[in-house]
Amino acid sequence: MALTTVVSAGSATAAVADSATGTPTAPITNPKPGPKPTPPPTAPTKLPSPSPTPSPSPTQTPTPAPSHPKAGAGHFDNTLIATTALAYTGRWGGQACLDAHRFASGQCREFVDCVVALATGGKVWPVDPGGDYQVGFSAAGGVPVAAADAVEGDIIQIGDHDDSAPLHTAIVLENNGDGSFTVVDSNWVGWPTTPELVGVHDWTPPDGARFWRLGAVTADAGGHIAGARKTSAKGGAKGSWGAAGGKTQGSSTAILQAPPAAPNLSTNTVGGLASGVITVRAADADPQHPSARIRYWIDGKPADAADSTAGVAQLRLDTTKLPDGAHQISAQAVTASGAISALAAPTTITVTNHQLTIAVAAPNTPLLTGSVPFNVGAAPAADLDKATLMVDGAPVQNLPATVDGALNLDTTTLTAGPHLVSITVSDHEGRSVTWGPVTVTVTGAATGPRAVLPSATGGHSDLVAVDAAGRLVRYAWSSDAAFGAPQPIADGFGDVTALLAGHFTGAADARQLLAVRKDGSAHVYGFDGAGKLVDQGTITGAAWATYTRLVGGRFTANGGPQLVGIDAAGHAQLITVDAAGKTAKAEGLSVDPALGGALTILAEAGAGGTDRLLALSNTGAVSAFAFDAKHGFVAVAGQPTMQLPAPAATPVLGGFVGSGPEVLVTGADGQTWVVSATQPDRPSQGAVFNVRANVAPAVPVVPGQRRLSVTP
């Protein structure tokens, strides 16, 4: 199957390619069920439904039907199903249905349906209108469990419809731990001389049996984990299960253990491509309700279990025991008391142990910058040789191929704009298979949070940004045409949501950075004599995490350093910082709808020594606002008439190419534009990063702008 992957503007998704056919992978579907198991010699067949007149039952003193609290599926004691069924031991199974006011049938399936109705006060009726027995339990809220995990009150169902063979339904009294169970059922004990008799016996269900849990286990139900057995009730109806009602029902008042949340599943595969032995990881979704172990399911059938350690279990799955093709893996969390979760959302793997195949997980970001990993998976694992990264048809990296690894694309060696990327994997026999080509877009500058600092070149600005690796880097302005290569300043800025430059505290001429992090903290950074970044502390007071847009400047006459923050609802606040730089005070302001809905806000030097705000919309239109003590920020009519490329990544305002303030913005094509903030009629220029003169524009030029392409 050939790779079919489309990446537009740098967006790439994982796909699978095959060396044999050259066609896309077919959609994954659930595998068809295998043939139904052969009936065991001793299993009774399904009897015809009896007439409304009950079949003769053994003579016995009538026992009142048990009474239980009303509850919905999963919210009642699971053992109530077993204890309710035991009340009919030695009696005609149809009596349970008469007591439930349903119908007069003592067949095994009907008996269990009626017992469930009685145990739940009539709230749960596990009958599918279409006649599918398994669907009936599932639709009633039943959770499938593995045979090894079955506990008292779970229901064993063999067969799907009346014509299935074998066909039987029973209720678990005890899991004997060896594949056999002590059960209570109808139409088994006494067969064939006394049909539809309720009894207790030991039974080993065939492989096709499915187990369902409708109720919840109790807090005092220790020993439910397989292997921690209770005393067996061997010998049919002997022992503690021998007499009707002989099992106490005190557990109905015990504290119920709510089922844990389904675990989160992951594999160590790339794009789900599996070969040889892989690891399937299951992690607790709710650490407050930890699992004791995880039961894995493969293609709808229970598989191995693994113990949980610190909320995580890992299964080493040998895919060579599975046929090539798509398989679905799910899992259930099992607590120490036996409470079991619903099945986790399945994860799909594509097993290929016999044909050369490749899968790639590429970055899914609009623009690429720095070192970009392409995670590669290939199979079969035992015969891999080499993986080659190709850019624009030329190889740029060769590595030994592995089942899962990464090829790193160094975008600093590429021009800004679109490029074709492909990856080829070969085996020792000389066969090869290729992923791609896909289109990615490289930008010359990091597009994370940005700010500007004065450049060593007078009248210009350096760009400071957070790159894809979470580093704070500085692009020094080297000429009127280009920035230099990024210079790392500090690591650990990957959680920064806003980056501002200006004077916030201390000496009047100090240039500082204010970084707001995801945890809501605001840190002020300065530079020492050697140019090293220094964390000067946090500023408390304002609820920094509430602001989706922030800008720094001087917005009131004779005012000190200030900031404006706008929250998600469009409310603006003027934020002042004390001289010590320790506390920020926020004051409410009225706000124009155009400002409240702005994608980004910038501060531009205005008349009278105060700054005005520039608001950038999601279409690239720019509006200007000035502060008025009475009305807050109000729109400045007719200024500016500016249009930026849209969508635009993290615009900043500074001095770059010409004279006067300019807006620097990276467009969707990876190119970085500079637009005059005060002279809208002046042709704008592209402040380029490593762009050669022969590179054609990837998108139409905005009217009134021109692109400056100069080799650094």
Which pLDDT value is given to residue 72? 65
Query: What single-letter DSSP state applies at residue 319?
Result: G
Distances (CA, A) of 201 to 4, 55, 139, 190, 517: 57, 22, 29, 11, 65
Highest mean pLDDT among 15-24, 56-65, 379-388, 681-690: 379-388
How buried is residue 54: exposed, middle or buried, by Cβ count under 10 Å (0-12/13-18/19+)? middle
Which pLDDT value is given to residue 675? 80
Is the pLDDT at 10 greater than 80, yes or no? no
Q: Taking Cα atoms as reference points, which of 631, 704, 639 lies closest to residue 673?
A: 704
From 126-140, 513-527, 602-616, the region with the lowest mean pLDDT: 602-616
Task: Give pLDDT tens digits for 547-558.
Answer: 888 998 888 776
Query: What single-letter DSSP state applies at residue 657?
Result: S
CA atoms of 277 and 600, how far apart (whole Å)? 49
Is the pLDDT at 523 greater than 60, yes or no? yes
Helix (H), strand (E), coil (C) string for 505-543:
CCCCCCCEEEEEECCCCEEEEEECCCCCEEEEEECECCC
For helices 79-86 and 108-119, the axis angle rounded to 10 degrees is 120
From 170-174, 305-309, 505-509, 692-696, the region with the lowest mean pLDDT: 692-696
CA atoms of 493 and 535, how far apart (whole Å)? 12
CA atoms of 445 and 465, how far apart (whole Å)? 8
Sequential DSSP letters for 399-463 = EE--SEEEEEEEGGGS-SEEEEEEEEEEETTS-EEEEEEEEEEE-SS--SSEEEEE-SSTT-EEE
Please report which confidence band the pLDDT of residue 529 belongs to, taking 50, 70 and 90 as the band edges: confident
How buried is residue 70: exposed, middle or buried, by Cβ count under 10 Å (0-12/13-18/19+)? exposed
Which pLDDT value is given to residue 480? 57
Buried b (16+ CB within 10 A) or exposed e, 294-312: bbbbbbeebbebbebeebe
CA atoms of 169 and 212, how far apart (whole Å)? 11
Q: Taking Cα atoms as reference points, which of 601, 596, 606, 584 lies closest to residue 661?
A: 606
Is the pLDDT at 664 greater than 50, yes or no? yes
In 568-661, the DSSP E strands lie at 572-577, 584-589, 600-605, 611-616, 621-628, 632-635, 642-643, 649-654
* Close Cβ partners of 507 (under 8 Å, ≥ 6 residues apart): none
Section 397-412 average pLDDT: 86
Is the pLDDT at 341 greater than 60, yes or no? yes
Instruction: Give yes or no for a contact between 91 and 198, defined as CB atoms under 8 angstroms apart.
Output: yes
Q: Taking Cα atoms as reference points, which of 84, 110, 111, 95 lies closest to residue 173?
A: 84
Which pLDDT value is given to residue 482? 67
Task: Give pLDDT tens digits for 557-586.
Answer: 766 778 888 888 888 888 888 777 777 877
What are the beta bridge partners of residue 629? none
Section 221-238 average pLDDT: 39
Which pLDDT value is given to residue 433? 93
Section 323-337 average pLDDT: 93
Q: Taking Cα atoms as reference points, which of 409, 382, 387 lies closest to residue 400?
A: 387
Which pLDDT value is given to residue 127? 95
Ramachandran area for residue 389 (φ above 0: left; ψ -120 to 50: alpha; else beta): beta
Which pLDDT value is given to residue 241? 43
Q: Alpha-carbon torsion 145, 151, 155, 158, what sign?
A: positive
How buried is residue 321: exposed, middle or buried, by Cβ count under 10 Å (0-12/13-18/19+)? exposed
Percent residues over pLDDT 70 in the chain: 77
Which pLDDT value is given to residue 704? 37
Is the pLDDT at 3 greater than 90, yes or no? no
CA atoms of 249 and 82, how far apart (whole Å)? 10
Task: Give pLDDT tens digits for 121-157.
Answer: 999 999 999 999 999 999 999 999 999 999 999 999 9
Task: Give pLDDT tens digits for 177-205.
Answer: 999 999 999 999 988 888 999 999 999 99
CA atoms of 627 and 556, how far apart (whole Å)? 7
Task: Give pLDDT tens digits for 211-229.
Answer: 999 998 876 554 444 333 3
* Close Cβ partners of 408 (under 8 Å, ≥ 6 residues apart): 371, 372, 373, 374, 397
Tokens of 471: 């580093």
Task: Give pLDDT tens digits for 639-651.
Answer: 666 777 766 778 8
Mean residue pLDDT across the chain:
78
Please report which confidence band the pLDDT of residue 705 belongs to, taking 50, 70 and 90 as the band edges: very low
pLDDT, greater one: 662 or 16: 662
Integer-rounded Cα radius of gyration of the chain = 35
**Residues listed for the chain:** 712
CA atoms of 631 and 589, how far apart (whole Å)? 8
Highest mean pLDDT among 312-316, 371-375, 567-571, 632-636: 312-316
pLDDT, greater one: 18 or 342: 342
What are the counts of helices (DSSP H) followed by strands (DSSP E) for the chain? 5, 45
Distances (CA, A) of 455 to 373, 443, 550, 668: 32, 21, 23, 26
Which pLDDT value is given to residue 246? 40
What are the beta bridge partners of residue 25? none
Task: Give pLDDT tens digits for 447-481.
Answer: 889 999 988 877 788 899 998 888 999 988 876 55
User: Is cis: bond before 647, omega within 30 of 0?
Assistant: yes
CA atoms of 657 and 686, how far apart (whole Å)? 9
Section 343-367 average pLDDT: 89
Instruction: Give yes or no for a contact between 79 and 178, defined as CB atoms under 8 angstroms apart.
Output: no
Percent residues over pLDDT 90 in the chain: 37
**Strand 685-686's sheet: what is its strand order?**
649-654, 662-666, 672-676, 685-686
Q: Alpha-carbon torsion 500, 504, 505, 510, what sign?
A: positive
Section 327-336 average pLDDT: 94
Which pLDDT value is given to residue 279? 94
User: Is cis: bond before 52, omega within 30 of 0?
Assistant: no
Which pLDDT value is given to residue 545? 83
In the numeric block, the tokens 């623009």 are attached to 367
**Strand 394-400's sheet: what is its strand order?**
394-400, 384-391, 417-427, 432-442
Tokens of 504: 């916030």
Instruction: Give yes or no for a contact between 438 and 420, defined as CB atoms under 8 angstroms apart.
Output: yes
SS3 content of the chain, % helix, strand, coil (to 5): 10, 40, 50
Q: Taking Cα atoms as reference points, which of 287, 285, 316 lies closest to residue 303?
A: 316
